[in-house]
Amino acid sequence: MKYITGGNLFVESLKTQGVDVIFGLPGNHLDTVYEALYYNQEEIKHYVTRHEGGAAFMADGYSRATGEVGVCMTVPGPGSNNASIGICEAFTASSPVLWITGQNASYLAHKDPRKSFHGLDQESVFESMTKHIEIVHQVHQIPNAVNRAFGVLRSGRPGPVLIELATDALQADTEQQVPRRNNGIQTMAPPDDIDSTIQLIKDAERPLIISGSGINHTRATDELLEFAAHLDSPLSMTGMGKGSVPEDSPYCIGMFRDSYSQTALKESDLLIAIGTRFTYRDTANWSLKLSKPLIHIEADVEEINKEYPATVGIGANPKLVLKQLNSIFTEDKMNPKWEERLVELNREFLSSEPPRILKDLRDVMPRDAILSVDVNITGYGALTHFPTYYSGSYIFSGISVAMGIGLTGAIGAQVAYPNRKVVALSGDGGFLMTSPDLATAVMYDLPVVTIIMNDSQYTSIERGQLRRFGKRIGVELVNPDFIQFAESFGAVGIRVENINDFRPTVEKALSLEKPTIIDVAL
């Protein structure tokens, strides 16, 4: 075998793991990796971004849209610090994002990083927002570091993983071979837990199923719907579980924190929570009381009994556990007591009237379109009032509430699915946080449509101030002319000043197949 550089070995290792897209911003620490990428452009496409935070958001958007590992790459120090906002979002959203960054030569590892070029002790700084970190000092460590990283990314509840690469490890020559693809370890439920779960279900009359992000991560919608059909039970989604249940399913009763689900919660006699961590948003800051028997199925075993005590707790892959349960059921309807009540709850949920903008938006977007929602007042309502039908079709910052994910998350999703319609719904404040990456959409001809709800202020913050002390401070914004802004990048800009023009404008934007900004004047 001929000698290759560590940079080549690293890229070959990524290819073996199935990586074909990287979002990043180059720098001298990673020149050897970029050299290898130059000669592997047919296998791995690199998308250069205008900000490292945008690269991380894009990798997250790609990951959520596909259910696969998204990859971003930055230089150390200021580059990795910039990326940290998107990595923190991926951490709270449990997205399998591989974050690659460089580091100074290994012989400088003992030196004070505060005095080094791009210096930063990245392991200490980013430990709290990553699931796992690999530090590579020598070239022979590269293959196993990549292999372990993907093992972690593909095992249990996902989360971002950092690989730090020393420049001399990348520049060194080696004849090492690349390990095979690592698909991770996914555990099944022990037989005793399956037996206990089945018995609780048989004893119940009105079980309620709560579907969380674990269903999206494992793409277990089909298994979940089969499970609900066996139980004839309503399905309610957590915030991060949105998309896990088609919202026109006869079993769907909407979001867990909304009225239809809360009604079902009161009437139920068994809760079956699948792939959820019971976050603050779904439990009203954990003030929600769950006194009924609880079956908790969650990939991260440490989440079992953390927020609510489980009658049966199963720390295993939700998709595999659902397959185990479905294989045992022999009756079509195990819990017939819901009967017409389920039909009523579903009918009430489906008949709820959404705000006009969200209704118009849903009506003109194809069923499989992807919506990336930034932090804004209109976007808050989308969680309840914008129906979704597929895992990965709804991207938002549901826990860390990070502004700027709208456009960049949409770009990542559009890269993943070039032939699907992708729309970002942003406020003016959130859009401007990552707006330079409109250039990324233009550069790669990504036809993302970005809707900007433009009222020249941080509206949700203003409302909180008015409620608290009746005044406002620090919330007014001076915005550019978003039409000229879009056109200056080579994108299309369209302004909407009348609500009656919104729907036809979105229809037009979706038909253009070009990066487009719609400025909605409020």
Tell whether the model's pLDDT for residue 170 goes beyond 80: yes
Q: What is the mean pLDDT of residues 199-209?
A: 94
3 state SS of 186: coil
Torsion sign, CA atoms 76, 78, 81, 87: negative
Task: Supply 492's token pair.
Answer: 């299309």
How many Cβ atoms from other residues are within 10 Å of residue 321's Cβ? 28
pLDDT tens digits, 270-304:
999 999 999 999 999 999 999 899 999 999 999 99
Q: At residue 452, what are phi and psi to the nearest 5 degrees? A: -105, 115
Which residues does 341 contact at the CB level (< 8 Å), separation at least 6?
206, 267
Q: For the chain, which domains are there? A: 4-174 (3.40.50.970), 191-350 (3.40.50.1220), 356-521 (3.40.50.970)
The single-letter code of the amino acid at 7 is: G
Please report the pLDDT score of residue 335 as a whole number.
64
Residue position matching structure tokens 């590579």: 136
Tell whether the model's pLDDT for residue 82 goes beyond 80: yes
Please report the pLDDT score of residue 42 as a whole number.
96
Task: Supply 265's token pair.
Answer: 């919660």
The single-letter code of the amino acid at 476 is: E
3 state SS of 454: strand
CB-neighbour burial class of residue 263 (10 A; exposed 0-12, middle 13-18, buried 19+): middle
Task: Output the DSSP codes for 139-173.
Answer: GGGHHHHHHHHHHHHTSSS---EEEEEEHHHHHSE
DSSP E strands in 361-515: the ranges are 370-373, 394-396, 422-427, 449-454, 492-496
Tell whether the model's pLDDT for residue 441 goes beyond 60: yes
342 confidence band (pLDDT: 50, 70, 90): confident
Q: What is the mean pLDDT of residues 448-456?
A: 97
Alpha-carbon distances of 105 from 166, 298, 363, rounded to whole Å: 5, 41, 55
522 confidence band (pLDDT: 50, 70, 90): confident
pLDDT tens digits, 320-331:
999 999 999 876
Among 106-120, 377-391, 406-420, name the one with the lowest average pLDDT.
106-120
Tell whether the model's pLDDT for residue 119 goes beyond 90: no
332 confidence band (pLDDT: 50, 70, 90): low
Question: Can you tell me the distance from the alpha carbon of 393 to that of 246, in angstroms, rounded to the nearest whole number?
Answer: 11
Which residue in 251, 242, 247 sits closest to 275, CA to CA?
242
Task: Output the DSSP codes for 391-411.
Answer: TTSEEE--SS--TTHHHHHHH
Question: Can you tell me the distance from the alpha carbon of 340 to that of 391, in angstroms, rounded to the nearest whole number?
Answer: 28
Residue position matching structure tokens 């919506």: 371
State pTM to two decimals.
0.96
333 confidence band (pLDDT: 50, 70, 90): low
pLDDT tens digits, 500-510:
999 999 999 99
Task: Supply 1's token pair.
Answer: 């075998």
Tell whether the model's pLDDT for residue 251 goes beyond 90: yes
Tell whether the model's pLDDT for residue 386 goes beyond 60: yes
485 confidence band (pLDDT: 50, 70, 90): very high
Which residue in 199, 195, 230, 160 sits closest to 400, CA to CA?
160
Among 328-337, 378-387, 411-420, name the one with the lowest average pLDDT.
328-337
3 confidence band (pLDDT: 50, 70, 90): confident
pLDDT tens digits, 123-162:
999 999 999 999 999 999 999 999 999 999 999 999 999 9
Please report the pLDDT score of residue 105 as a whole number.
84
3 state SS of 450: strand
Question: Can you tell me the distance from the alpha carbon of 215 to that of 367, in angstroms, rounded to the nearest whole number?
Answer: 19
Tell whether the model's pLDDT for residue 1 goes beyond 80: no
Question: Can you tell me the distance from the alpha carbon of 165 to that of 100, in angstroms, rounded to the nearest whole number?
Answer: 8
